[in-house]
Structure 1
Amino acid sequence: MKKYNFLAAIAVLVLVSASCKKFLEIEPQERVLVDNYYQNADQAFGALVSVYDQFANQGGGYLTKVGVMNSASDDQLAGGGGPSDINDFQVISNYTLNSNVGPSGYLWNKGFAGVFRSNAFLEKVAPINMDATLKNRYIAEVKTMRAGFYFDLVRFFRAVPLLTTAVDPAKMYDVVQATPADVYTQIEKDLTEAIPNLPNTVPAATEGGRLTKGAAQALLGKVYLWRDKYADAAKLFAEVNGTPGGTSQYGYKLLANFDDLWKTSNKFNSESILELSHSTASNGGWGNVGSTEGNLLNILVGPRGYKPTVATAPDYVSGWSFQVFTKEFFDKIHFDPRNKATVANLDSLEKNGIATYEKGYNNTGYFVEKFAGRVSNKAATGQLELNFGQNMYEIRLADIYLLEAEALLKSGAAVGAGSRAYQLLNAVRARVKLNPVPVTMDNIMLERRLELAAEGHRWLDLVRWKLAPTVLAFKGFVAGKHEVLPIPQGELNNTKIEQLKEWGGTK
Structure 2
Amino acid sequence: MKKTFQLYFTALGSAALITGSCSKEFLNPDPKGTLMEDTYYSNPNEAFAGLVSVYDPIGWQTAVSYLNFGALNAASDDHVAGGGGPNDMETWQRWSNYTLNESIGPQEDYWDRNFTGVSRANIFIKKVEEGIPGLSDALKARYIAEAKFLRGYYYFDLVRLFRNIPFYTEPLTTDNMREQTQVAPEVVYAQIEQDLKDAIAALPPTVPTATEGGRITKGAAQALLGKVYVYQKKWNDAAAQFAEVNGTPGGTSQYGYKLLDNFEDIFRPDNKFHSESILEIVHSAVGALDWGAWGQFYGNVATVMFGPRGYSGPSYYSGWSFCPITEELYDLMHYDPRFKATIADVDSLEDAGLAQYEKGYMNTGYFIQKFAPLVEFAATTGVRELNYPQNYIEMRLADTYLMESEALIESGQGGGAGTRAYELLNAVRDRVGLPPITATLDNIFLERRKELATEGHRWYDLVRSGQAPAALGGKGFVAGKHEILPIPYNELLNTKLVQHEAYK
Place the TM-score, normalised by the shorter chain, in its bin. over 0.9
Q: CA shift at 1:62, angstroms?
A: 6.5
Contact persistence 1:304–1:321 (CA under 8 A): yes
Is 1:399 matched up with 2:403? Answer: no
Is 1:73 matched up with 2:72? Answer: no
Secondary structure at 1:275's aligned position in 2? strand
Contact persistence 2:65–2:110 (CA under 8 A): no
Secondary structure at 1:471's aligned position in 2? helix
Partner of 2:327: 327
Contact persistence 2:65–2:92 (CA under 8 A): no
Q: Distance in 1 between matches of 2:11 and 2:40?
A: 11
Contact persistence 2:40–2:46 (CA under 8 A): yes
Q: Distance in 2 between matches of 1:96 and 1:371?
A: 27
Partner of 2:280: 275
* C-alpha distance 119-316 of structure 1, shift in aligned 2 (>3 A): same
Partner of 1:133: 138
Partner of 2:23: 24
Aligned AA for 2:227?
A: K
Secondary structure at 2:289's aligned position in 1? coil
Q: Distance in 1 between matches of 2:200 and 2:412?
A: 27
Partner of 2:119: 116
Q: Distance in 1 between matches of 2:258 and 2:228?
A: 23
Paired residues for 1:124-163 under 5 Å: 124-126=127-129, 127-129=131-133, 130-163=135-168
Q: Which of 164, 168, 171 is residue 173 of structure 2 equivalent to?
A: 168
Q: Distance in 2 between matches of 1:21 and 1:79?
A: 33
Aligned AA for 2:187?
A: D
Is 1:102 matched up with 2:96? Answer: no
Is 1:38 matched up with 2:41? Answer: yes
Q: CA shift at 1:78, angstroms?
A: 0.3
Partner of 2:208: 203
Query: TM-score if structure 1 supplies the norm length?
Result: 0.93
* C-alpha distance 29-166 of structure 1, shift in aligned 2 (>3 A): closer
Q: Distance in 1 between matches of 2:289 and 2:322?
A: 20
Q: Which of 232, 244, 252 is residue 247 of structure 1 equivalent to?
A: 252
Partner of 2:290: 285
Q: Distance in 1 between matches of 2:268 and 2:199?
A: 32
Which deviates the most, 53-62 or 165-174?
53-62
Secondary structure at 1:95's aligned position in 2? coil
Paired residues for 1:93-492 under 5 Å: 93-126=96-129, 127-129=131-133, 130-308=135-313, 313=314, 315-492=315-492
Q: Distance in 1 between matches of 2:451 and 2:113?
A: 27
Q: Distance in 2 between matches of 1:288 and 1:29?
A: 22
Q: CA shift at 1:95, angstroms?
A: 0.6
Q: Distance in 1 between matches of 2:378 and 2:285?
A: 7
Q: CA shift at 1:167, angstroms?
A: 1.6
Contact persistence 2:309–2:360 (CA under 8 A): yes
Q: CA shift at 1:55, angstroms?
A: 1.8
* C-alpha distance 242-89 of structure 1, shift in aligned 2 (>3 A): same
Secondary structure at 2:414's aligned position in 1? coil
Q: CA shift at 1:352, angstroms?
A: 1.1
Q: Deviations over 1:56-111 (max 9, x none)?
A: 22143463230011010000010101001111111110011100001000000011
Secondary structure at 2:328's aligned position in 1? helix
Q: Deviations over 1:127-154 (max 9, x none)?
A: 1131101110010000000000000000
Which deviates the most, 366-375 or 278-287?
278-287
Q: Distance in 2 between matches of 1:503 and 1:60?
A: 23
Aligned AA for 1:179?
A: A
Secondary structure at 1:291's aligned position in 2? coil
Q: Distance in 2 between matches of 1:135 and 1:245?
A: 36
Aligned AA for 1:429?
A: R
Q: CA shift at 1:502, angstroms?
A: 1.9
Q: Distance in 1 between matches of 2:291 and 2:65?
A: 11
Q: Deviations over 1:147-193 (max 9, x none)?
A: 00000000000000111001231121111011100000000010011
* C-alpha distance 206-119 of structure 1, shift in aligned 2 (>3 A): same
Taking only aligned residues, the RMSD between alpha carbons, in angstroms, comes to 1.7
Is 1:53 matched up with 2:52? Answer: no
Query: TM-score if structure 2 supplies the norm length?
Result: 0.93
Contact persistence 2:71–2:92 (CA under 8 A): yes
Q: CA shift at 1:283, angstroms?
A: 2.6
Partner of 1:503: 503
Q: CA shift at 1:31, angstroms?
A: 9.9
Contact persistence 2:64–2:92 (CA under 8 A): no
Secondary structure at 2:395's aligned position in 1? strand
Q: Distance in 1 between matches of 2:454 and 2:265?
A: 16
Which deviates the most, 338-347 or 64-73?
64-73
Q: Distance in 2 between matches of 1:353 and 1:338?
A: 25
Q: Distance in 1 between matches of 2:298 and 2:338?
A: 29
Secondary structure at 1:273's aligned position in 2? strand
Q: CA shift at 1:353, angstroms?
A: 1.2
Identity %, equivalent residues: 55
Is 1:86 matched up with 2:85? Answer: no
Q: Distance in 1 between matches of 2:40 and 2:493?
A: 32
Contact persistence 1:316–1:374 (CA under 8 A): yes
* C-alpha distance 120-29 of structure 1, shift in aligned 2 (>3 A): closer
Secondary structure at 1:125's aligned position in 2? helix
Aligned AA for 1:20?
A: S
| Ranges in structure 1 where 5+ consecutive residues have no aligned partner | 1-15
Secondary structure at 1:389's aligned position in 2? coil
| Ranges in structure 2 where 5+ consecutive residues have no aligned partner | 1-9, 17-21
Contact persistence 1:17–1:47 (CA under 8 A): no
Q: Distance in 2 between matches of 1:131 and 1:171?
A: 33
Aligned AA for 1:66?
A: F
Contact persistence 1:60–1:291 (CA under 8 A): no
Which deviates the most, 165-174 or 439-448?
165-174
Secondary structure at 1:65's aligned position in 2? coil
Partner of 2:5: none
